[in-house]
Structure 1
Amino acid sequence: MTKLVLVRHGHTPWNKGRRYQGHSDVQLSEEGREQARRLRDRFKETKIDAIYASDLSRALETAQIIAEPHGLIVQQIPELREMNFGVWEGLTFAEIQAQFRELADGWYKNPADLQIPQGETFRQVRDRAYKAVLELVAKHPDETVLVVSHGGTIRAVICAVLDLEMDRIWQFRQDNTAVNIIEFYEGRTVISLLNDTHHLYDSGVS
């Protein structure tokens, strides 16, 4: 069994402003770094064989902070990036509704195949990210692998694991530094933890 610990990156200034980040390389806020340090403490006694991250700095820095006690070098995988939101990047939900209302309504109803201008569909995100995950599982048999990625990407991977249609993607919450654990056995896959943030409960960080 290969255990995949799939983690969302820490908080960013654009999270606070509820702006769509996508491929924009937005760094962690100080709150996000504190969240990552909480993750580091959570996993410092856990045996982790390898650590990977999206190549966007908010995911990479989160992974590097977690990696400190383990002496591991974080390996970057661009396919684990967040969805490319195209012309929506940097905009808030309210701004998107005002400027692209019909498109936005269609996207929430059909996230699989409706493409944001200059961006991606969620099906494309699922295909690239899940392929990368399966390659990691094959590379690390019987090991524990920690991966830091992004909310939309993680939701897409979960849909792939559960063989769900992409319109179910909005039914999975992914908070900053949420921990998900997926166990890959021969012939079956089990999600044993979803959106867990108990490491933040006694920290004053939310």
Structure 2
Amino acid sequence: MTRLIVVRHGQTVWNLERKYQGHSDIALTDKGLRQAEAVGARLADEKIDAVYASDLSRAFKTAECIAAKHSLTVSVVPALREIKFGDWEGLTYEQITAQWPGLLGKLWTTPDELQIPGGESFQQLKERAYAAIEKIVDEHPDQTVVVVAHGGTIGTILCAMLDIHLNHVWNIRQDNTAVNIIEYYEGRPTITLLNCVRHLVE
């Protein structure tokens, strides 16, 4: 059995400011670093064979906090990045709504039909991210692997695993440093834990 532990990154400044991050490389806040250390401590007793992360620093730093507990290095996979928000990156909901009236609403209601200006579609995100996951799983038979990525990315990966339409991607909540566990039985993914943040004590 292969176990995949998928973790969202810790809090960033733009999370606090409710700005769309996408491919922008935004660092963790002090709280985000504490969250990363907490998830690292939570997973310290797991037998982890490899750690992968998006190349964006918020995911990579979170992954480092996990990998350090196991004397592992983090393997970078750019395909695990968040969706490219293009022209919306660095803007708030209100700013986007003012410049693109009616378009942002599709992000929440019919994301599968949305092509973000200057960015990606959710179908493009799902295809690149899930292909990366399948490659990682194939390379680690009967091992436990950690993957640190982003909220939208993880949502589309879980939709792909469950064969859920992408218009339901926001029905899958992902808090900062949420832990998700997927176990593969004869190549079939079974989600055994979802959006667990019991390691966070505020």
User: Is residue 156 of structure 1 aligned with residue 129 of structure 2?
Assistant: no
Report what 1:40 is aligned to. Answer: 40
Report what 1:93 is aligned to. Answer: 93
Distance in 2 separating the partners of 1:103 and 1:89:
15
Report what 1:11 is aligned to. Answer: 11
User: Is residue 136 of structure 1 aligned with residue 136 of structure 2?
Assistant: yes
- After superposition, the C-alpha distances for 1:107-160 in whole angstroms (9 at most, x for unaligned) are 333212321111000010000000000000100000000000000000000000
Distance in 1 separating the partners of 2:109 and 2:57:
31
Q: CA deviation at 1:170?
A: 1.1
Q: How does 1:43-54 map to 2 (within 5 A)?
A: 43-54=43-54
Q: TM-score, normalised by structure 2?
A: 0.97
Unaligned runs of 5+ in 1: none
Report what 1:111 is aligned to. Answer: 111
Q: CA deviation at 1:27?
A: 0.6
Moved over 3 A (4+): none
Preserved contact between residue 8 and residue 179 of structure 2 (Cα < 8 Å): yes
Paired AA for residue 51 in structure 1: V
Q: CA deviation at 1:187?
A: 4.5
The number of residues matched between the two structures is 202
Q: TM-score, normalised by structure 1?
A: 0.95
Deviates more, 1:8-17 or 1:112-121: 112-121
Distance in 1 separating the partners of 2:114 and 2:38:
37
Preserved contact between residue 51 and residue 67 of structure 2 (Cα < 8 Å): yes
Preserved contact between residue 106 and residue 113 of structure 2 (Cα < 8 Å): no
Report what 1:167 is aligned to. Answer: 167
Corresponding residue SS for 1:32:
helix
- After superposition, the C-alpha distances for 1:68-90 in whole angstroms (9 at most, x for unaligned) are 12110100000000000010000
Unaligned runs of 5+ in 2: none
Paired AA for residue 137 in structure 2: V
Preserved contact between residue 24 and residue 89 of structure 2 (Cα < 8 Å): yes
**RMSD of the alignment, in Å?**
0.9
Distance in 1 separating the partners of 2:190 and 2:116:
32
Distance in 2 separating the partners of 1:35 and 1:166:
28
